[in-house]
A and B are shown apart, each in its own frame.
Chain A
Amino acid sequence: MSDPILQLKQVKKTIGNKQIIKGLDFEVYEGEVFGFLGPNGAGKTTTIRMLVGLMSLTEGDVVIKGTSIRNNYKKAVQHVGGIVENPELYSFMSGWKNLLHYARMIPGISKERIDEVVKLVGLENRIKEKVGKYSLGMRQRLGIAQALLHKPSILILDEPTNGLDPSGIREIRSYIRRLAREDGVAVIVSSHILSEMEMMCDRIGVIKEGELLSIQSVESALQQPEQRDITLEVQQRERARKILSEWLNRPVKIEKDSLAFKMDRDDVPEMIRRLVDENIDVYSVNMYRSTLEDKFLDLIGERAVD
């Protein structure tokens, strides 16, 4: 992979006597959607606030496109567009005036660029209306529009789907994917909703109590040809159990009226053939893949009892 666009180096934050963030290290690359996942109060928003300069770093450093936000905040943050928590805009001004307001804060943004961004998020028809009249979904889109004005290389979205209805969520998701794929923008998305992250992100960092527990690649987590949980409904359970445990060389449990065990997905046809050869009738084969949710709960769960 190329150089990372965003790098966190041992980022720590202490407020009062309490260490909120305990040393975060991760990188985000071009064209990647990085999910930042954790339960409420895990430190997601604090981390995001530090990334965009709203909060100072107690220790460590954040490097954006090779520039440290400690040494040259202005240069570093130039490449960043973001929404922190809800897209709170000036409700007494029109959407267009809101965008004009943010456009004026960065040199070189033309009126044409504003129109372009408005089109991108599909607000052409309502842009002259006051933001106070917008629905939450429209405000979220306007929030994204203001973040995209200066063509940032990295887009930071804190809970971008908070409070949106399912169609709004799908809309936002497709924007985010498109930005990453087509424009090579690195996107950081924070959320505590797992299923959403699965659909949106390439990699997911799991944070809990200010610590990064692990970084999972979504594709490998879901498509790896690893062991699946199988439940098998057959006649002659006891005989089937013996045959399978010998063949698989691992324990096979009998649960209620079916068999439960783990095996490779690729070996399933072979297993059925063997059972049929042995004259065992197979009524059903169910396969479960462990979802991100399971992994997440595993990760969170193992530390839940502190």
Chain B
Amino acid sequence: MINFLQLVKNEQMKLFSQRSTWIMITIISVLTIAFGIFMKVDGSMVAGEVPAGPDWKNELREQNAQLTSQKGPEDGIKYSSLTDVRMNEYRIENDIRPTTYNVWKFLHENLNNISILSLFTIIVAGGVVANEFKWGTIKLLLIRPISRSKILLSKFVSVFLFAGIMLVFLYGTAFLIGSILFGMNGFSDPYLYRQGGDIQQAHVFIHTVFQYLISMVNLVMMGTFAFMISTVFRNTSLAIGVPIFLMMGGNSIILFLSDKEWVKYILFANTDLRKFLEGSPMIQDLTISFSITVLIVYFFVFVSLSWYSFTKRDVAST
């Protein structure tokens, strides 16, 4: 076990000795800071607009009247406006006062940065095995009295340890920037979200953490996919390029094939579990348990292919 921890330590040492890793960290910090400053300066979504005064209930009613009078292109109320209307009604009914913009909302809005994190995870996972082949260092790595399975596992663990570190870093930076720019009030205010037709409320912090975690599902699946290609094809460019392409184009592919019976078995139709919690999934008869089953199957296929390829194949001359 100590041996295994040493291997993971090795992988982390290699990862954090590479300049590209530090570039990724810089990008995440810069993006978070820029996003924070943008939100602060732009202001339209922040303090001013929120009816938080003593007469907030009337203000919300006014807002609703305005929203319902606006007609969408199909002569109906737009979905997003509908959500706002329902939320305002819910606030009035349940006596939940709207809060001004704060660090918790900022954290929640930073959720989208996870797709950048997925991108970085793909880059790391795509390189972790293939680079050793590219650099030729695989030959010195595999002549140690350690089984290949153990080395592979240490690399796999290392990739997601990296993703975890980056997630904490992202969350931490966003928290720091958010609390400086927007203040830490409103921690106990409930967070409202729409699930199907209903408005639900949850604690803002727990809800955000939960959303971050569920967004990680996509990251883990794409990371594992990149890791598999990295191991099987031993080619870094392929292992980074293919998953990124599929991650970007995944939704279009699903949309394009949405009338096919088997579309729900495609990986990308199932990776976004957030859809089950807020809004509705792209494919109609998809359920959360079905999606999770599909994800688990894919995960095992990826891992088995990697394992088989890494432990059974010869390391031949390049």
Contact = CB atoms under 8 A, between A and B. Distances in A.
Interface in B130-180: 135-137, 139-140, 142-147
Contacts, number: 83
Contacts of B7: 104-105
Contacts of B17: 90, 92-93, 97
A54 B139 contact: yes
Contacts of B316: 15, 49, 55
B260 interface: no
B6 interface: yes
Contacts of A146: 140
A303 B174 CA distance: 73
The number of chain B residues touching the other chain, given as a range, is: 20 to 34
A271 to B, nearest CB: 53
Q: Is the interface of A mostly helix, strand, loop or mixed?
A: loop
A293 to B, nearest CB: 27
B3 A107 contact: yes
A87 B315 CA distance: 16
B143 to A, nearest CB: 4
Given A92-B17, A92-B19, A97-B13, A105 B135 contact: no
Interface residues of A, number: 37
A88 interface: yes
Interface in B5-23: 6-7, 9-10, 13-14, 17-19
Interface stretch (A21-29, A74-82, A165-173): A74-82
Interface of A: 15, 45-46, 49, 52-56, 73-75, 77-78, 80, 82-93, 97, 100-102, 104-107, 143, 146
Of all A-B residue pairs in the complex, the 10 with the closest CB atoms, nearest first, are A88-B136, A104-B6, A55-B314, A54-B315, A84-B139, A105-B144, A52-B143, A74-B145, A78-B145, A93-B17
13 contacts: A49-B139, A49-B315, A52-B143, A54-B314, A54-B315, A73-B147, A74-B146, A77-B145, A91-B135, A100-B13, A101-B13, A104-B10, A143-B140
